[in-house]
Amino acid sequence: MRLRTLPRSFFDRDPRRVARGLLGKLLVRRSGRRLRAGRIVEVEVYLAEKDPAAHAFRGPTPRNRVLFGPPGHAYVYLIYGAHFCLNVSCLPPGNAGCVLLRALEPVAGLEEMARARKVGLDGKRALERLTSGPGRLCQALGVTRARDNGKDFTRSDLTIAEDGFRPRRIAVTPRIGIRQAARRPLRYLIAGNTFVSPPRPQRTPRRKKKGP
């Protein structure tokens, strides 16, 4: 597999442009000569001070300082006390913006990914679920906050690279799994790809019972 690691200039721009450009690229975890890699098929954009759903909305903190640093670095956080999410920082230092990696199409190191997730690979359904979701892809590639937060995607064991693949069509939808600013069209995915994460069912508010 011949890969070219993306340069820092790729990430030093509007996160919406970065998001479109990331679709079809490869997220790669190297361990010596072994590698685990998946094609990025779904992402979401977060726009800092203009976006109440973004972690950087209220400004820099010890937790989110990576987002205000140089572009092209990993921002990892924990949700529900159990699952890690992986983001890439965008824009020049001092300007927070990022892209959340939501789903991958497994390309290399599938057996190792399955072992990391403690799942099997029998059948198409199992393969499609291997890295279809931000928590699943982090587990499959061994991404944790302690190990990877702040890592440079241009020069570490966790990189984003290209192999010449170009998606035929990109779809844009509202973000999923959030409550604030949920209707903004900031979710980008490769149209028709079966490895995107399944949308969570929306809860229907209960109707109040009318009195007698």
Residue 207 has pLDDT above 50, yes or no: no
pLDDT at 209: 43
DSSP code per residue over 68-84:
GS-SSBEEEEEETTTEE
**Given pLDDT bands bounded at 50, 70 and 90, which one contains residue 40?**
very high
- Give which of 56, 153, 150, 61 is closest to 95, Cα–Cα: 56
What average pLDDT score do residues 10-31 get? 97
Q: Report CA 125 to chain centroid distance, whole Å.
A: 21
Burial class (CB in 10 A: 0-12, 13-18, 19+), 112: middle
Domains recognised in the chain with CATH numbers: 4-168 (3.10.300.10)
Report yes or no: 149 and 158 within 8 Å, Cβ to Cβ: no
Burial class (CB in 10 A: 0-12, 13-18, 19+), 119: middle
What average pLDDT score do residues 73-100 get? 94
- Give which of 147, 164, 129 is closest to 29, Cα–Cα: 147
Q: How far apart are CA 92 and CA 195, in angstroms?
A: 32
Out of 48-52, 95-99, 171-175, pick the least confident. 48-52
